[in-house]
Structures are given as C-alpha cells and as structure tokens.
Structure 1
Amino acid sequence: MKGFLLSFRSEFYKSRKTLGFWGSIILPLVITLLALTAFFVKSGDFANKPGILLWIQFSMISLGSMGTLLLPIYTIFVAYSVNNVEHKADTWKTIFSLPISRWSVYGAKYAYAFFLLFICMALFTLLNIGFGNLLSVIKPELKFNEYHMEKELAQVFFKLLLSALGILSIQFLLSLLWSDFLKPMGFGFVATIVGVTLASQKDPWKYTYLLPYSHPMAAIKSMVKNQHGPADRFEIAVFTQEVYVSLIVAVIVFFAGYFIVQKRSVK
C-alpha cells in the first residue's frame, strides 16, 4: 500500500501542470458557465417554466455535451496524458527498476486517471447545483428553488462516470503500450465516432451495448426509469445494461493489461 500511495502522489506531482489535469477542472467550469450565461441572458424565455423543467434544461447542457463526444474524448485524453509523461521522458525502465512493485505503479497510474475523471464529474455535479441555485437568487423569476435535483444530478453524473470506465481501461492499456500519439488517440477517436453513431440512432443495433465507446451516449438515453407517477417525481436508472458492461470490460481489461505489462518489457 505504501508503494501505491507513493506512486499515486508521484502521478499528481508529474501531471499537475498538464492539460490532462487542468482539463478535469476547466472543462466542467467552462460548460457550466456557458449554461449559466445562456439562462441569465435569456431568463425571460424560462421565467414561466416550473422548477423541475428548469433544472432539466439547465443540466442537459452539460449532460448532452458530455454524453455525446466530450466524455469519451476526454477519457481517451486522460488515459494518454497519464502514460505520456513517462513516454516523453523515457522513464519507464527507471520507474519499473525502483523498489516498488510493478502492480503498485500500474495500479496507481490507473487510479490517478480514474481520479481525474471523478474530479471532472464531481465538479459538473457541484457546479450545476451551485449555478442553478445562484440563478434563482440573481434572477428570481427563474424558479430553480421550487425543486431540488441534487440527488438526481449526482446519480446522473455518477452513471456517466461508470459508463466511461470501459473506455478508460482500454485506452489506458493502449497508451501504455504505444508511445506515439496517433495509435491510441486515433483508435479511440474512430471507436468513439462509431459508438456514438450507433448509440444515437432511434433504433440502435441490438448489440451496441457491447461497444464500450457507445456507453456514455447510451447511459444518457437510458437515464430515466419508466414513469407512471406524478410528473414532478422521477427516478434515475443508474445501473443499466451499458453500465454493467462498462464495469465488466473495465475490470477485465485492467487485469489483462497488468499481466501484459508484467510479461513484456515496457520501453
């Protein structure tokens, strides 16, 4: 455990000035600020809408952008940036020659990549909640305070986080084994386009859920459970088919990646 913690802390110090690290903060801040600005400028268009509808429309600016392309692409970039630090400095052999187990190094790098995704999704949750309540103060005609969606927003962004773990594991392994930019990033971009295209269809292919790169888009589409009660009460379906597949893929590829790295020489 000590080796894992040392490696994890080392990842923070090595990446704290990189775009991968700051992207986890800047991305949610920029998107939610744009949503805040849009609602502030066009407050008259939303003045007569109920609180629940305001929250849904406000949060969907973030959810729509992250569930389509931004989350898969950011996940691909995070996986690449965490391993690119070592590729760029040519320090893989040095790291694996230290008196720290290869498992600790591998696990800490993956955990740090997951940590960046978690920070990104947590900030999306907090900023959406915070800015929504702020709008009800600076624009009283926007009745955000009539409805509370803190729990639902946390569930939705948590679901998006889980849906991206399959992509993270695959891209983490590819970016660890391939030192150049084009191979892991190119593969990820093409797979994302295919996955999003398949998942966004009105009648998607029945096996689309098996493609990890389609999971964020599919997670948004399967967000709300079938409702039969009042319109102001709904439940978020967190653990849906694509989320389960994402978790299974993430675990299998993570352990497979470790055994691959353990058996081969990483340059």
Structure 2
Amino acid sequence: MKGFLLSFRSEFYKSRKTLGFWAAILLPLLISALALVIFYTQSHKFVRMDPMMLWVQFSMISLGIMGSLLLPMYTIFVAYSVNSIEHKADTWKTLFSLPISRWAVYSAKYFYAMFLVFLCLALFAIFTIGFGNLLASIKPELKFGQYHMEKQLLQLYFKMFLSSLGILSIQFLLSLLWADFLKPMGIGFVATITGVIMASKDWEYAYAFPYAHPMAALASAIKRGPGARRGPASEFVINILTNDVYVALGVAVVVFIAGYFIVRKRSVK
C-alpha cells in the first residue's frame, strides 16, 4: 500500500501542469458557465417552463455534450496522457527498477487516470448544481428554486463515471503498450464514433460495446417512479445499474487484470 500511495502521489506531481489534469477542471467550468450564460441571457425563453423541465434543460447542456462525445474522448486522452509522460521521458525502465512493485506502479497510474475522470464528472455535477441555484437567485423569474435535482444529477454523473471505466481500461492498456499518439488515440476515436452511432440508433446490443456506454448510460438513466403517471416531477428516479454499466464494470476489471499480466511479462521500453 505504501508503494501504491507513493506512486499515486508521484503521478499527481508529474501531471499537475499537463493538459490532462487541467482539462478535468476547465472543461466542467467552461461548459457549465456556457449553460449559465445561455439561461441568463435568454431567460425570457424559459420563464414559463416547468421547474423540473427547467432543470432538465439546463443540465442537459452539460450532460448531452459529455454523454455523446466529450466523455469518451476525454477518457481516451486521460489514459494516454498519464502514460505519455513516461514514454516521452523514456523512463519506463527507471520506473520499474525502483524498489516499488510493478503492480503498485501499474495500479497507481490506472487509478490516477480514474481519479481524473471522476474529478471531471464530479465538478460537472457541482458546477451544474451551483450555477442552477445561482440562477435561482439572480433570475428569480426562472423557477430553479422550486425544484431540487441535486440527488438525480449526482446519480447521473456517477452512472456516467461507471460507464466510462470500460473505455478507460482499454485505452490505458493501449497507451501503455504503444508510445506513439496516433495508435491509441486513432483506435479510440474510431471506436467512439462507432459507439455513438450504435447508441444513437438504439441498437439493442449497444450495451455490449464499451465505447457506446456513456451515451447508452445516459439514455437508459431516467425511469418513472410508481407515481409518475399521476404527474409529479419528483417521481423521476435514476436507474444506475443498467446493462451498460454492468458490462462497463466487467470490461474494466477483466482488462485491468489482463493488462497487469501483460505488462509484467512484457519488456517495457
């Protein structure tokens, strides 16, 4: 555990000035701020909207962008950026020659990449909730204060995080084995476009393809509660454990473990 913590801390210090780290902070801030500006400047278009639908429209600006394309691409980029530091500096042999187990180094890198994805999505949830409540104060004619969607948004973003883990595991292994940028990013980009097409066309087996999981997870997230047919918006609940999430977690575990054995037996240059 000590070796893991040392390696994890080392990953933070190595990446804190990289684009992969700062994108986890800036992407949620900029996209959520864009949603704030749209609703503030175009408030007259949303005044008559139901409070629950107002929150849905506001949050879907961020959720739609993340679920359709940005989350898979960011996950692919993070997986590459964590390992590219070692590739560029040619320090793999030095890293694995340290008195720290190869398992600690490998798992620390993986969980740091996972942490960056989690940080990004957590900030999306925080900024969306915060800016929505800010609009309730500065634009009281908008009915943000009449409905609370904090729980549902946190559940949605947590589900999207789980749905991204299959992509993260696959891309992490690819970027670990290939030093160049084009191979892992190219494969990831083509797979993401394929996944988006599968999910957008509602293909019944899209849940089996990891790169379709973020968009499929968002589409399958919302279900109506027992009293929803009677109309109250509060009856909408989030269905977290759907097929796409189960497959994403299964792929993540299998590829993560397989990746370790591949790395342990492979001469990493």
| Range class of TM-score, shorter chain | over 0.9
1:231 pairs with 2:237: no
> One-letter code of the match for 2:135?
L
> One-letter code of the match for 2:267?
S
Shift of 1:228: 4.9
- Of residues 256, 260, 263 in structure 1, which corresponds to 2:262? 260
Shift of 1:51: 1.4
Q: Report the counterpart of residue 111 of structure 2 in structure 1.
A: 111
Shift of 1:227: 4.5
> One-letter code of the match for 1:93?
K
> One-letter code of the match for 2:56?
I
Shift of 1:184: 0.3
Q: Report the counterpart of residue 30 of structure 2 in structure 1.
A: 30
Identity of aligned residues (%): 69
- Provide the secondary structure at the position in 2 that maps to 1:24: helix
Q: Report the counterpart of residue 134 of structure 1 in structure 2.
A: 134
Q: Report the counterpart of residue 175 of structure 1 in structure 2.
A: 175
Structure 1 stretches of 4+ moved >3 Å: none
1:243 pairs with 2:245: yes
1:152 pairs with 2:152: yes
- Of residues 198, 204, 218 in structure 1, which corresponds to 2:216? 218
- Provide the secondary structure at the position in 2 that maps to 1:164: helix
- Of the structure 1 ranges 232-241 and 66-75, higher mean CA displacement relative to structure 2 is found in 232-241
- Provide the secondary structure at the position in 1 that maps to 2:62: helix
Q: TM-score, normalised to structure 1's length? A: 0.98
- Tell me, in whole angstroms, the C-alpha distance in 2 between the residues paired with 1:117 and 1:219: 16
How many residues in Structure 1 have an aligned counterpart in Structure 2?
265
Q: Report the counterpart of residue 16 of structure 1 in structure 2.
A: 16
Alignment deviations for residues 213-255 of structure 1 (CA, whole Å, 9 cap, x no partner): 0000101110112455233121100110000000000000000
- Tell me, in whole angstroms, the C-alpha distance in 2 between the residues paired with 1:228 and 1:8: 45
Shift of 1:71: 0.1
Shift of 1:45: 0.7
- Of residues 198, 206, 209 in structure 1, which corresponds to 2:207? 209
Q: TM-score, normalised to structure 2's length? A: 0.97
Shift of 1:209: 1.2
